[in-house]
């Protein structure tokens, strides 16, 4: 996976899509999974990790970048810990 430069507008769009998706779909059975949100098409993928979703997209021929988030959290991965 390569690093993608996100504009603030793309990031906000992806977050909005994710918020709307959660309002329309029950994701409680997916807690802890990873969600990948395409800010262009609005499509949402689920998998065990960002790499898993990347493989799903690659198999489908989709090359659009995704915003990744852990279901049940407002982030995908948080580095560091308590000191």
Position 31 scores a pLDDT of: 95
Residue 44 counted as domain residue: yes
Q: In the prediction, which pLDDT does 73 show?
A: 87
Q: Is residue 25 part of a domain?
A: yes
C-alpha angle with apex 76: 74 to 80, nearest 5 degrees? 100
Strands 44-47 and 67-70: unpaired
pLDDT tens digits, one per residue of 23-58: 999 999 999 999 999 999 999 999 999 999 999 999
pLDDT at 18 over 70: yes
Contact at 8 Å (CB) between 67 and 14?
Answer: yes
Number of domains in the chain: 1
- What pLDDT shows up at residue 7? 85
The reply to whether 55 falls in a domain is yes
Is there a domain that residue 76 lies in? no
Which residue range forms the structural domain that includes residue 34?
8-70
First to last CA, the chain: 31
* Residues 53-77: tens digit of each pLDDT: 999 999 999 988 899 999 998 877 6
Neighbours of 46 (CB within 10 A): 14
């Amino acid at each position: 996976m390569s690093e993608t430069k996100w504009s603030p507008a793309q990031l906000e769009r992806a977050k909005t899509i994710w918020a709307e998706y959660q309002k329309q779909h029950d994701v409680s059975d997916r807690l802890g999974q990873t969600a990948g949100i395409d800010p262009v098409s609005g499509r949402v993928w689920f998998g065990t990790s960002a790499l898993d979703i990347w493989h799903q997209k690659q198999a489908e021929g989709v090359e659009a970048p995704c915003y990744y988030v852990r279901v049940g959290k407002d982030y995908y991965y948080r580095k560091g810990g308590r000191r």
